[in-house]
A and B are shown apart, each in its own frame.
Chain A
Amino acid sequence: MKPFLSKAIFFALILSAIFMFLGRFANGKTDAFYLRFTTPKQKNLILGTSKAAQGIQPAILQNYFEEPFSNYAFNLNHSPWGEVYYKSIQKKHSKQNNGVHILAIDGWSLSNWQIGELSGANREDEGPLSGFHFVDQHPNYYYLLQYTTFLDILNPPRHNINLHEDGWLEIYDIPLDSVSVTQRTTKKVSTYSGMANTATLSTSRSLFLLKTINYLKQYGEVFLVRLPVSEQLYSIEQESFPEFESMIQSSIQASDGYLDLSKMNSELNYSDGNHLTPSLVYLSHKKSPIGF
């Protein structure tokens, strides 16, 4: 037994050392989520889906509020409003008082459309936020082991994403000419039209949005924002969720303010109809009244 154990332990130690060494090289290009799980617990959070992940730059808010912000928004499949996201936010929040929290909301992040969701499962149940405890480890070996490969670290697969340490997901080096944007937008419209066939607003998700607001209100202010999208996608959303505005009334009342930027839909540019183009992220912050 002793020779077996000593060899096995020695083997495991070498393996662990290699992995721990490689893990230190993981960065914002490894994948679109990793760095968010490596920063300490945060006082000021930006929450929502990919529109918020790409569209709200923490650095801009930091300039105004003179405090660091962390973008803890993911995407429509992993961080729609619900129990999984609510629990993850609780783990990421530092419990410090006087924080400012920006919550991006829209019909899709409050709805279900996948077949499994019609019978009670949630699409985010199998994602990295579900049951994930280690949200502030650097390097985050658990996340790396579970969700990435050595190749992701050594040779990141996608070269046009860069997740900043503050959580902002920067998309760069993508063609932004009108033809490319139109093609991506057409694809996005097709995707969302398909989702619209089965999408319904979820009472449970709405309740968890309210729970999230009430939780964060213990530690500061909470502002809701509806980010702009292209008119085509906006009309799909409006048609699919006519009762959205009435559903979020209780959340608006519980919050410290609601900023509906959908009024600016036609004034802004998007990379794919859904996500603001990077150069205009700053512009939208300039245009919108900060004191909301």
Chain B
Amino acid sequence: MLFNSIEYAFFLPIVFCLYWFVTNKNLSLQNAFIVGASYFFYGMWDWRFLSLIVFSTMVDYTIGNLLHHYKNNNIRKALLWVSILVNLGFLGVFKYYNFFVDSFVDAFSLFGTKPNVSTLKILLPVGISFYTFQTLSYTIDVYRNKLTPTKNFIAFAAFVSFFPQLVAGPIERATNLLPQFLKSRKFEHAQAVDGLRQILWGLVKKVVVADNCAHYVNIIFNNSADYNGSTLLLGAILFGFQIYCDFSGYSDIAIGTARLFGFKLMQNFAFPYFSRDIAEFWRRWHISLSTWFRDYLYIPLGGSRGSNFLKVRNVFIIFLVSGFWHGANWTFIVWGFLNALYFLPLLLLQKNRTNVSTVVAQNNWLPTGKEAIQMIITFSLVSLAWVYFRAENLLHANDILAEIGSASLFSIPQVLPRLVLVIVIVFVLIEWFGRRNQYAIESIEQVLKARPLRWAFYFLLIFFIQSLAGNQQEFIYFQF
């Protein structure tokens, strides 16, 4: 069920009441209830793939305890590889099998032969890219002795399947989330109110901004041959907002929902479009995934230590793998490649950590001229790369970029969605003024101190959600 569906609007309060009023006296019962509710939630997508989650849970639970039991390094390494192969094996078969087969056939046909290899008619299990990485982080951390494996199977199953973040993240670390299942949760009023507020803001992003942008993005990209450069650029920019609001909106709803149940999930997006350079962008975009790759791939490869060759190699590996994680299509790989190209100069010139601890215009209302230019350049680079992310194939993306790069860029756009542009501008302003928070309207209580005013603001947001709802689009990242 989608977060912005009527079914979820009934599911959430029922689960909330049962969680806090019926199962709260017993931690095991409460965790078991979370497992049941999460399996029900996932089963509403496709019950056939529940077996994958259960199997993955059982494998990694067992391997975690075996890793703790055995002290021999070779055995421990072998166990770790079993976990990696099982988890990535599922991912490989369900997500990448057909891609490899098709690419293999295409490569061979360049030599004049076309091997007869069948592709599989496989459905992609929702959320597989997320929960496999989540369970992998558990076994890797246990292997590294960063985490003691749990003997509490129910708590572990709840960690793997926790419904707010099961299908599209944030990809939680076992070191953060698992301990929360091993201790009693206490209801905190402020946390719950904050959670509801974050859910509301997530819905605004998803329903009002993302779905409305999606309508025009689809028109422009699906008929790109009919449009001039300025229209295609507009489409790319709108897609940038669509994917940001879609994904970060979902994360907000996930984090807000978790708060209602007394859990703290990690921040997944930190206003990435206000980044002053690409390195900062990648510290603020899909934080759970980028830090996962940093900790489990980039640093073990050597990170930014070593020779320039190693640095370049590691950066390309990370971004190409990240691109590939997003989908079984060469467009995602090229998208990753482009971002690697953007990132490398900063790394090699050692300018990739210049904006680490501050937010743009930290103590000011407005950015300086330099900061504004930096943000515009960063956003432009990111938007051009998004063309590959959205396009159907490389040819499609190249054609679009060629047209953007032509003189028709200076023509009047053929599609001018005024309402959507107003929505985007208002949204950017709200995000700008809330950029120092976890999410834009987190500190609304400091701005609107009186409760009637705050409630009026919430009603207004709900009115906008209901009035400006675009055609319902599935969360983009569900296809991953």
| A21 at interface, CB cutoff 8 A | no
**Interface residue count on the A side (C-beta < 8 Å):** 16
Binds B, one of A47-55, A95-103, A144-152: A144-152
CB distance from A20 to the nearest CB of B (A): 13
Binds B, one of A1-9, A80-88, A194-202, A204-212: A1-9
**What are the interface flags for A132-146 relative to B under an 8 Å C-beta threshold, 1 for contact and 0 otherwise?**
000000000010011
| A11 at interface, CB cutoff 8 A | yes
Assembled-state Cα–Cα distance A71/B146 (Å): 67
Assembled-state Cα–Cα distance A19/B6 (Å): 14
- Specify which chain A residues have a CB less than 8 angstroms from the CB of B466 in the assembled complex: 19, 149-150
Please determine whether B192 and A150 come into contact, CB atoms closer than 8 angstroms: no
Please determine whether B6 and A145 come into contact, CB atoms closer than 8 angstroms: yes
Please determine whether A15 and B468 come into contact, CB atoms closer than 8 angstroms: no
Please determine whether B463 and A4 come into contact, CB atoms closer than 8 angstroms: no
**What are the interface flags for B172-199 relative to A under an 8 Å C-beta threshold, 1 for contact and 0 otherwise?**
0000000000000001010011001000
- For A120, the closest partner residue in chain B by CB is B121
CB distance from B471 to the nearest CB of A (A): 10
Interface residues of B in 435-480 (CB under 8 A from A): 455, 458-459, 462-463, 466-469
- Specify which chain A residues have a CB less than 8 angstroms from the CB of B97 in the assembled complex: none
Assembled-state Cα–Cα distance A47/B247 (Å): 41
- Specify which chain A residues have a CB less than 8 angstroms from the CB of B463 in the assembled complex: 150
Assembled-state Cα–Cα distance A203/B189 (Å): 58
Please determine whether B20 and A151 come into contact, CB atoms closer than 8 angstroms: no
- SS of B interface (majority): helix
- Specify which chain A residues have a CB less than 8 angstroms from the CB of B468 in the assembled complex: 149, 151
Please determine whether B467 and A146 come into contact, CB atoms closer than 8 angstroms: no
CB distance from B475 to the nearest CB of A (A): 15
- For B463, the closest partner residue in chain A by CB is A150
CB distance from B5 to the nearest CB of A (A): 8
CB distance from B13 to the nearest CB of A (A): 8
Contact of A15 among B6, B192, B196, B462 (CB under 8 A): B462
Please determine whether B193 and A151 come into contact, CB atoms closer than 8 angstroms: no
CB distance from A182 to the nearest CB of B (A): 23
Please determine whether A151 and B467 come into contact, CB atoms closer than 8 angstroms: yes
Interface residues of A in 150-173 (CB under 8 A from B): 150-151
- Specify which chain B residues have a CB less than 8 angstroms from the CB of A151 in the assembled complex: 467-468
Assembled-state Cα–Cα distance A14/B459 (Å): 9
CB distance from B345 to the nearest CB of A (A): 42
Please determine whether A11 and B192 come into contact, CB atoms closer than 8 angstroms: no
CB distance from A96 to the nearest CB of B (A): 31
Please determine whether B187 and A15 come into contact, CB atoms closer than 8 angstroms: no
Q: How many inter-chain residue pairs (CB < 8 Å) link A and B?
A: 29
Contact of B455 among A1, A3, A11, A145 (CB under 8 A): A11
Please determine whether B20 and A1 come into contact, CB atoms closer than 8 angstroms: yes
Interface residues of A in 1-42 (CB under 8 A from B): 1, 3-4, 8, 11, 14-15, 18-19
Please determine whether A15 and B459 come into contact, CB atoms closer than 8 angstroms: yes
Please determine whether A1 and B187 come into contact, CB atoms closer than 8 angstroms: yes
- Specify which chain A residues have a CB less than 8 angstroms from the CB of B467 in the assembled complex: 149-151
Interface residues of B in 409-427 (CB under 8 A from A): none
- Specify which chain B residues have a CB less than 8 angstroms from the CB of A14 in the assembled complex: 459
Assembled-state Cα–Cα distance A19/B467 (Å): 12
Please determine whether B196 and A8 come into contact, CB atoms closer than 8 angstroms: yes
Please determine whether B192 and A142 come into contact, CB atoms closer than 8 angstroms: no
Assembled-state Cα–Cα distance A145/B455 (Å): 21
- Specify which chain A residues have a CB less than 8 angstroms from the CB of B459 in the assembled complex: 14-15, 18
Assembled-state Cα–Cα distance A18/B467 (Å): 13
Please determine whether A142 and B189 come into contact, CB atoms closer than 8 angstroms: no
- Specify which chain A residues have a CB less than 8 angstroms from the CB of B455 in the assembled complex: 11
- Specify which chain B residues have a CB less than 8 angstroms from the CB of A3 in the assembled complex: 189
Please determine whether A146 and B6 come into contact, CB atoms closer than 8 angstroms: yes
CB distance from A129 to the nearest CB of B (A): 16
- Specify which chain B residues have a CB less than 8 angstroms from the CB of A150 in the assembled complex: 463, 466-467
Interface residues of B in 163-220 (CB under 8 A from A): 187, 189, 192-193, 196
- Specify which chain B residues have a CB less than 8 angstroms from the CB of A145 in the assembled complex: 6
CB distance from B271 to the nearest CB of A (A): 28
- For A8, the closest partner residue in chain B by CB is B196
Please determine whether A149 and B189 come into contact, CB atoms closer than 8 angstroms: no
- Specify which chain B residues have a CB less than 8 angstroms from the CB of A18 in the assembled complex: 459
CB distance from B71 to the nearest CB of A (A): 47
**What are the interface flags for B313-337 relative to A under an 8 Å C-beta threshold, 1 for contact and 0 otherwise?**
0000000000000000000000000
Assembled-state Cα–Cα distance A8/B195 (Å): 12
Please determine whether B20 and A149 come into contact, CB atoms closer than 8 angstroms: no
Assembled-state Cα–Cα distance A150/B460 (Å): 12
Please determine whether B6 and A4 come into contact, CB atoms closer than 8 angstroms: no
- For B24, the closest partner residue in chain A by CB is A1
8 interchain pairs (CB within 8 A)?
A1-B20, A4-B193, A15-B459, A15-B462, A149-B466, A149-B467, A150-B466, A151-B468
Given contacts A1-B187, A1-B189, A150-B466, 11 further A-B contacts (CB under 8 A): A4-B187, A4-B189, A4-B193, A8-B196, A11-B455, A142-B6, A149-B466, A149-B468, A150-B463, A150-B467, A151-B468
Which residues from chain B sit less than 8 Å from chain A, CB to CB? 6, 20, 121, 187, 189, 192-193, 196, 455, 458-459, 462-463, 466-469
Question: Nearest 6 CB-CB pairs, A to B?
Answer: A150-B467, A151-B467, A149-B467, A150-B466, A4-B189, A1-B187
